[in-house]
Structure 1
Amino acid sequence: MKGSAAGIPAAYACTYDYLFVIGGDGIVIWRGNYNDAAIRDAIDQGLESLVSPTPVIPFGENLLLPNYPNPFNPLTRIPFELALGDGDIPVTLQILDLRGRIVSTLIDDRFHQPGRRYEVTWDGTDNAGRRQPSGIYFVQLHAGATDRIRTLTLVK
């Protein structure tokens, strides 16, 4: 912007003897009796507070989230997240008994859209469709090189 900011107070219905505006293009305009260095320091401090020193990366790792409800009868939902990455990723999600035996395989496939949240439902049955007894079970997620395990409690 060339010229002065004299018309800015009228545009913003401002009656103050100073004005500070950040335009949509990011240009900062101020008018008033202020020290330029003090204004620049205030702007720099404000901008620094908006920038996170450690950016949050969504879907930065493969996660097995807590199932809900837990304890459950007869259904529970099992959410998990797959990390952002290139190409597809092999994913296996299984229910195991306390001895580590496979009760049910809920997922055994390649996922072509990593970088998002998924959810599956377990109905308390084994691979043959038989209802399982009350007890503690494990849900195990294999996703690429990642292994995660959580406990589930089936009650009747």
Structure 2
Amino acid sequence: MARRLITSLALAAATAAASVAMAAPSSAATYQWSAGQLSPQYVFGSGGTACYYRIRYGNFGNVAYAQIRFYAGACGGTRAVALGQTGGTITEYWDDQSAITGADGCGQYIEIQATSVPDRIGVGMEVHRPNNAGVNTYWHTTTAGQQTPVRYC
């Protein structure tokens, strides 16, 4: 998980952390997804603005992590946020915008990853769409909705 390869996306920024409330933001779409498993393929947007992606979050040792794999579409500017809990506080840990490339059963992808500081429990993740177009939040304990996959691979 420590592997990083800067791609031609020219992505660069520092990881930022900010405390958030225990509940998902009211403006976010909230979905349940099992921690540690790679999701089916989802899409946000439509037509020329559609972005096809898969997610995974959980813990790697004592560090919370969140990954997004982008497969096709207008995904540039999308950010991953790991939600790490210690005590009664959940903190957001933003991706550093470096990316790796690879391939899996869904095809070629570009992946970004967010990781917390040590001693955090991964309780969920957020997918921040570009240009403030919305946030999808995935909590391991929430049954408030289920995003419809567009493809299982």
TM-score normalised by structure 2 residue count:
0.34
| RCO higher in structure (CA 8 A, sep ≥6) | 2
| Structure with greater Cα Rg | 1
Q: Which has the higher helix share?
A: 1
TM-score normalised by structure 1 residue count:
0.33
